[in-house]
Copies of this chain bind each other. A is one copy, B any other.
Amino acid sequence: MTDATVPPSDSDSTRERIVAAAKAEFSRYGIAGARVDRIAKEARTSKERVYAHFRSKEALYAFVAGRELAAVADATRMDPADLPGYAGRLFDYFIDQPEHFRMIGWGRLELADAAQSHLDDPTRVALAHKLDQLRRAQDAGHLDPAWDPIDVIALVNQIATTWLSQIELRSFEVEQARDPAVSARRAAVVEAVQRLFPRAN
C-alpha cells in the first residue's frame, strides 16, 4: 500500500493524462488524423508540455501502443496448455476495450512500411517468451509439434478478434435483425481454437 499513498508528482499525473487522452484520440482518428492540440486540451495541458514529454506525435503513438500491448498480454496471460481459454480472455478484453483494437488497427495501416519500428523491446521480449512457452508445450506433448509456434500465436490472435475485424458481417447481422449475441460469438471463437489447438488434458 505504501506506493499508492505517495501522490504522483504533478509531472507524472500530467503525463498520465496525456497518455489517456492520446489513447482516445489515436483510437478515434488514427495517427495522421490525431491532433496534438486536441490531446493537450483533453489532458488539461499545453501542446508544448505534450512535446516536452514525447518528442513527436509518432513517438507518443509508439509509447501508447507499446503500453497497450503490454496491458493486453498482462490481462490475458497466454497459457500454452489452454489456448481456447486464452482466446476467450482475448475476446473479453477486446469486447471490453474496443478502442485498444482500433488503435492497433490504425498503426497496422499507417506504419505498414515501418512495421519493424513499432515493435518495442518489451513487446519483442514478450513475444520471444511466448514462442518459448509454446515450444516447451510441444516438447511436453501438449501441443501438436507440426505447428510453427508463430502460426499458433498469429492464428489465436486472429481468431479471437474475428468479430472486431469482420465488421461487414456484423453489420449484415444487425440488418437482418439477428441478435448480435456476444456469448454465441465468444463460444464460436473458443470452439474454433479448441478444434485447432485442443486443451491439454
Interface residues of A (CB under 8 A from B): 30, 32-33, 69, 102, 105-106, 108-109, 112, 115-116, 118-119, 123-124, 127, 147-148, 150-151, 153-155, 157-159, 161-163, 165-175, 184-185, 188, 192, 195-196
- The verdict on A119 contacting B153 (CB below 8 Å), with A105-B109, A112-B102, A175-B124 known, is no
The residue of chain B having its C-beta at the shortest distance from the C-beta of A105 within the complex is B109
B168 lies within 8 A of A118 (CB) = yes
The distance from the CB of A24 to the nearest CB of chain B, in whole angstroms, is: 14
A155 lies within 8 A of B150 (CB) = no
A196 partner residues in chain B, CB cutoff 8 A: 192, 195-196
**In the bound complex, what is the Cα–Cα distance between A55 and B99 (angstroms)?**
32
**In the bound complex, what is the Cα–Cα distance between A172 and B199 (angstroms)?**
27
